[in-house]
Amino acid sequence: MNKAFSSDLKRRPSGIVSWFIYHPVAGSLLLMIVLLSGLTGVMSLNQEVFPPFAPKQIDISFDVRGASPQDVERLVILKVEQALAGLSGIKRILATAEQDQAQITVELTREASQDGMLNMIKSRVDAIDTFPSYAERPVFSAPEPTEAMMIVSLYGDLPILALLEQGQRLEKALSALPGVSYARIQNPPEMQVSIAVMPMSLNEYGLTLNDIATAISRHSLNLSTGVIETQSGRLNLRTTSQAVKPEDFLRIPVKSLPDGRQLTIRDLADVRTEPAMDYSPSRFNGSPALTLDIRRNAGAGLASVSQEVSEFLVGYQQKLGRHLQVEAWMDESREFTSRSNLLIKNGLTGFLLICLIMGVFIHWRVAFWTAAGIPVSIMGAMAILYFSGMDISLNAITLFGFLIALGLIVDDALVIGESIYSETKNYGHNVANVVAGADKVALPSTFGALTTIAAFFPLTLTKGEMGSRMGSLGIVVICCLLASLLESKLILPGHLRHSPRPSRNPMITWLEGLWGRVQSKAGRGLSVVCEEIYFPILRWALNHPWKILLAATGIFSLSIAIIAMGFVRTSILPDIADYEVSGSFRLNANISRPQREQIARRLEDSLSLTGDDIKDQYQLNYEPIQRYLIDINNQTINFNIEIAAVENAPFDAHEVARLWRERLPKLPSIASLAISGGSGGDEQVAIQLSSDDPANLEEAIHRVKQYLAGIDGVIDIRDGTSTRFREVVLAVTPEGKSAGVTQRWLSEQIRASFYGVEAQRIQNDQQEWRVMVGFPDDYQQTLANLREMLIPLPNGSFAPLSTIATIDYSQSSTSLLRINARRSFIVQAGTLPPLTPEEVVEEAERNLLANLSTVFPGVSYSIEGEVKDSSKSVESLLSTTLLALFIIFALMAIPMRSYRYPLVILALAPLGLVGVILGHWVVGIPLSLISIFGLVGLTGVLINNGLLLVDAYRKNIALDMSVTEAIVGACMQRFRPVFLTSVTTCAGVMPLLWESDPEALWLVPIAVSLGGGVMLGTLLTLVTLPAVLVLLESNGESSSLPYNKFH
């Protein structure tokens, strides 16, 4: 055995780091395991645009045909509220009563089991046996955490029944594709068989609507009548007379006439198949349409399923002909690919910048293997995410987490590599010195990484929708840091154990010499900065520590004052333009279906003119508005608009929304509207008002709306009381009572006359159709017909309505909202930049809402919507930050065996906030919740830098240096690695600051916080921490340091 190697074996230090250095094959095998495992994770992890989020709630819906909002509240909602009262696990109950329907949302506490609560709520509601007979069975559901991967619109000028049949065929065909979980038609028309009978015919033959409905139920049925046992087997007996088509119903007998003829429905009524009352078809790019949601199988790739669906639609279109078109849009795979390419491009740019910076300042071998640790750590994180079984997907948030981690995961490897390089350069390149270099910084770099992990830990526990989505960012960064610990301690040192061999290739030798000269100049330049600039500042700081401390305090206070004076605005969430514009228009009540469709066409025309204006203004050769979908409901018209996703487009969604708003026609039928072109949505400002006194509540609502209207920049103010409809109130007259008519009898007859009588239900393909017997639509729509309507009396005769009932008029709200069993309304509004929702809410609370209960007794308020959700995220982040700070403190106190040094490092960490605030000021963006997420990562970096400095200082003290000598020595020794780690961290996110793509703008606040905070915070730490240490060790007395002592 070689004597040198044998002696080397004898003096090998113990420890896992040194073991891997002495066994490089183990490190190489570990590297291959990490790469293969990471590759498995990359190929297996699910792909999404954003992490799935579903509110923890149970939804209950009721159809109550013919019931007013007041009836729905009294007959359904109050009973459900009573049934659920006292049930633990419920945080809040929101109930909305509208014409013909009730919608109840039961919000659950964080600890409650959603499946268990669903069963308990269902059992309690199902036990209620006093719902009205005309109320449908309640439908219970829980929100799905995933969204449709794409939307497919089927459109053309076809009758609605023909369009529905084609839509159902397409739905089946798409659902049968291998990668598709299911396709579902959004809000399909509720079809029914309408049997329209004229009242004169009923009077002529002495019939009622119920008589015709009874005849249908007797003659239209499929019924099993028994079983015959024969020698050859069993035979089932069935009658098959179920009517399905209109002509089947026309043949049904109703009554035998005295002359022996059978009176059939053909003699009394018209039969047709049509959508239920008040249905208006959706419109896609101007044509009637059906829209299908496409959802993919778990684990199926976005891109592959999208391509599969797109290729299928190309072939399917050829079968449809020219009268019907099919188009896929809102494709998540395209958005995922766009966002992924954006982040990958910026990540590669950051990676190259990091490699360039390291290559300039350290030896190329160290730079290469240090940079190689970045992809290795990312693959290691992929492996951890996949094999740990965490419900984490590859999405815009997690990919951005990898981008943030670029500068963080290189820190450990850089510190280790720099220490090994310095040790071998100063004392010779052998394995023992490689081990010594690695051991020198192994402890502080390990605990530094752990403190950074602890700093990101609060993100994983953040509440609220945004907090829940951003939690995956924290998980990804933590996994990257764990993988980086493994790579920098067990893999990297083994690759640096071999001494570099001179190349025999003259070209390579020349390049090495050229690059060596570049490195030499860069090293001298960094030395000049350290010795000629930093050292004099350090010397002055140690001689005047109190002045440095006061200056740092002043700078920190000044940065806070910048926010207080409004130079840097604050916003919970930045309102960043997207590629989508949404518009919601709430109509006044008593608007008929033809009127609604006419209003929708005028709004559609204004949108088309807006697109023409943009195209002409910017001389575009493409259509700025690519697609739009219009949904027309009883009270609202909703637009979903997709604008052109063109790089460096001269317009954005905010401008489209603004120009469309200016183009909107002045229509008195529109009670309120909300147009949004950004990420803020349409509930930026939401103020909930509740009271048991409806009159007092309405006055308070008017006051709040009036106040919001007076704030410049507040738009789209609306609430549920904006629309009221006229009601016809019927009461039985004395003449009617004498004829045996009761209020209940009258109500039932009027309901049958206007809503019809349900004869039966038939299954038609995937839908259940009602068979309704009633009067023709045109007969129902005139007041004169109402007065002269013939009403069956209990004795079998008929009488005009005007003779048995009085007809009066009143007004009522189109919807009623109850929150926790109290009548409530939510006043909503949007804001225009630079005004933020938080500023509006803060001003309203200060000047109006705080004294609202005094002016309007019994009225309470709460803040809802975007501001509430974001505030919940901030509160949970701050609360978990206290725990994280204690963990960081403990992680520093353990290796230091001290309490005061960790407290000093923690106390100086807020200096990074100076760089954050100044960075937002320079870039011109508001300080937001997204910025705070960057501040979290910044805290870990600054604490890591402080830990390196204090660790070196304590080692110098152990060498019997004086306090000032130890501080200066530590700062000069650690200046280079601290500088390089800070610069590489900044370089990792710097490319995002150059991006103009709207999809990248929401990431800019994190990049500004991390980049600006690290650079300025590091500079302040390099000066302030030595001053605090000298005060700490000298009991507040500064000590003079000669200039040439360490120069």
Burial label, 257 (beta-carbon count in 10 A; 0-12, 13-18, 19+):
exposed
Q: What is the pLDDT of residue 663?
A: 93
Question: What is residue 5's predicted lDDT score, i.e. its pLDDT?
Answer: 38
Position 167 pLDDT exceeds 50: yes
DSSP code, position 137: P
CA distance 431 to 418: 15
User: Per mean pLDDT, which of 2-6, 97-101, 843-847 is the most reliable?
Assistant: 843-847
Residue 927 vs residue 878, higher pLDDT = 927
Mean pLDDT to the nearest integer, 585-610: 90
Lowest mean pLDDT among 126-140, 227-241, 612-626: 227-241
Beta strand ranges found along 519-660 (DSSP E)? 577-587, 625-632, 636-643
CATH class held by domain 1-51+335-495: mainly alpha
* Dihedral over Cα of 653, 654, 658, 659: its sign: negative
- Among 219-228, 799-808, 958-967, name the one with the lowest average pLDDT: 219-228
Enter the tokens of residue 619: 């001389």
Q: What is the pLDDT of residue 60?
A: 95
Burial of 218 per CB tally in 10 Å (0-12, 13-18, 19+)? middle
The residues near 553 (Cβ < 8 Å, ≥ 6 apart) are none
Percent over 90 (pLDDT), the chain: 29
Question: CA 232 to CA 126: how far, in whole Å?
Answer: 46
pLDDT for position 154 = 94
pLDDT greater than 80 at residue 514: no
Q: Note the pLDDT of residue 1043.
A: 38
**Cα(379)–Cα(479) distance, rounded to whole angstroms?**
10
Q: How far apart are CA 703 and CA 698, in angstroms?
A: 9
Tokens describing residue 258: 């005295």
Give the DSSP H/E element, type plus range, for residue 91: strand 90-98
Q: Distance (Å, rounded) from C-alpha 419 to C-alpha 436?
A: 9
What DSSP string describes 493-544?
HHHTSSPPPPPS-HHHHHHHHHHHHHHHHHHHHHHHIIIIIIHHHHHHHHHS
Question: Would you say 220 and 210 are in contact if contact means Cβ atoms under 8 Å apart?
Answer: no
CA neighbor of 941 nearest in space, from 454, 482, 452: 452
Tokens, residue 316: 């399917």
Decide if pLDDT at 657 tops 60. Answer: yes
Which band of pLDDT confidence, cut at 50, 70 and 90, is reported for residue 436?
Answer: confident
One DSSP character per residue, 956-979 reads HHHTT--HHHHHHHHHHHHHHHHH
d(CA 893, CA 951): 12
Burial readout 646-669 (b: 16 or more C-beta within 10 A, e: otherwise): eeebebbbbbbbebbbebbeebee
Using one digit for the tens of pLDDT, what is the confidence trace for 967-987?
Answer: 999 999 888 888 888 888 888
**Segment 839-844 mean pLDDT:** 90
Residue-level pLDDT at 502? 60
Return the bridge partners of 791, or none: 799
CA atoms of 495 and 367, how far apart (whole Å): 12
Model confidence at 110: pLDDT above 50: yes
Question: How much is the pLDDT for 52?
Answer: 75
According to the model, what pLDDT value does residue 788 have?
77
Phi-psi region of 862 (alpha: psi -120 to 50; beta: other; left: phi over 0): beta
pLDDT at residue 677 tops 70: yes
Query: For 570, how many CA atoms within 13 A lie in the half-sphere containing its CB?
Result: 20
- Given this model, what pLDDT does residue 941 score? 80
Q: Is the pLDDT of residue 209 over 70?
A: yes
The answer to whether 317 touches 326, Cβ cutoff 8 Å, is yes
Rounded CA gap, 944 and 983, in Å? 14
> Following DSSP, what letter does each residue of 705-768 receive, concatenated?
HHHHHTSTTEEEEE-TTS-EEEEEEEEE-HHHHHTT--HHHHHHHHHHHHH-EEEEEEEETTEE
The pLDDT, as a whole number, for residue 288 is: 93
Domain covering 55-143, topology: Alpha-Beta Plaits (3.30.70)
Which range has highest mean pLDDT (4-18, 223-237, 253-267, 490-504)?
253-267
Q: Alpha-carbon Rg of the chain, whole angstroms?
A: 37
Residues 6+ apart with CB under 8 A from 978: 945, 948, 949, 1018, 1022
CA 128 to chain centre: 36
pLDDT value of position 121: 95
H-helix or E-strand containing 414? helix 396-427
Whether the pLDDT of residue 442 is over 60: the answer is: yes
Give domain limits for the chain: 1-51+335-495, 55-143, 191-198+206-230+262-271+725-813, 522-576+867-1047, 578-708+833-866
Q: What is the mean pLDDT of residues 758-773?
A: 85
Distance CA(57)–CA(355), nearest Å, equals 48
The pLDDT of residue 2 is 45
Give yes or no for residue 791 having a pLDDT over 70: yes
Cβ–Cβ under 8 Å, residues 351 and 371? yes
Let me know: does 769 contact 762? Beta carbons within 8 Å. Answer: yes
Look at residue 485 and tell me whether its pLDDT is greater than 70: yes
- Inter-residue contact 999 to 339 (CB < 8 Å): yes
C-alpha–C-alpha distance, residues 283 and 323, integer Å: 15
**Residue 771: CB atoms within 10 Å:** 23
CB 584 within 8 A of CB 677: no
Q: Which pLDDT does position 945 carry in this prediction?
A: 85
pLDDT top residue among 1028 and 936: 1028
**For residue 203, how many C-alpha atoms fall within 13 Å in the half-sphere facing its CB?**
12
Average pLDDT along the chain: 84
Per CATH, the architecture of 522-576+867-1047 is what? Up-down Bundle (1.20)
Report the pLDDT value the prediction gives residue 177, as an integer from 0 to 100: 92
Q: CATH for 578-708+833-866?
A: 3.30.70.60
Q: Residue 84 and residue 22: Cα distance in Å, rounded?
A: 68
pLDDT tens across 563-594, in order? 888 888 877 777 677 788 999 998 887 788 88
Most confidently predicted of 14-18, 623-627, 945-949: 623-627
Q: Is the pLDDT of residue 142 over 60?
A: yes
* Neighbour tally for 687: CB within 10 Å: 28
Is the Cβ–Cβ distance between 150 and 179 less than 8 Å? no
How many whole angstroms separate alpha carbon 848 and alpha carbon 853? 10
DSSP 588: P
Q: Do domains 55-143 and 578-708+833-866 have the same CATH topology?
A: yes
676 near 682, Cβ under 8 Å? yes
**1045 vs 991, more confident:** 991
Q: What is the pLDDT of residues 536-570, one digit of tens each?
A: 999 999 999 999 999 999 999 999 898 888 888 87
Q: Name the residue among 256, 270, 259 with its Cα closest to residue 215.
A: 256
pLDDT, mean of residues 186-215: 87
Name the phi and psi angles at 299, rounded to 5.
90, -15
With cut-offs at 50, 70 and 90, classify the pLDDT of residue 832: confident
Cα 142 from Cα 118, distance rounded (Å): 8
Q: Is the pLDDT of residue 834 over 90?
A: no
Which candidate, 746, 685, 696, places its Cα nearest to that of 721? 696
Report the alpha-carbon distance of residue 84 to residue 41 in Å, rounded: 45
- Residue recorded with tokens 């209020």: 743
pLDDT at 505 over 70: no
Signed CA dihedral, 221, 226, 228, 229: sign only: positive
**Strand ordering across the sheet containing 269-275:** 269-275, 191-197, 767-774, 757-764
Residues 6+ apart with CB under 8 A from 510: none
| pLDDT surpassing 50 at residue 4 | no
What is the pLDDT, as a whole number, of residue 7? 42
**C-beta neighbour count of 33 within 10 angstroms:** 12
pLDDT of residue 138: 93
Going by CATH, does the domain composed of 191-198+206-230+262-271+725-813 fall within 3.30.2090.10? yes
- Least confident range from 649-658, 976-985, 1031-1040: namely 1031-1040
Listed in order, strand segments (DSSP E) in 276-335 are: 282-284, 287-296, 325-329
Judged by DSSP in three states, 223 sits in strand
| Residue 738: band (very low, low, confident or very high) from pLDDT cuts 50, 70, 90 | confident
Mean pLDDT along residues 100-124? 92
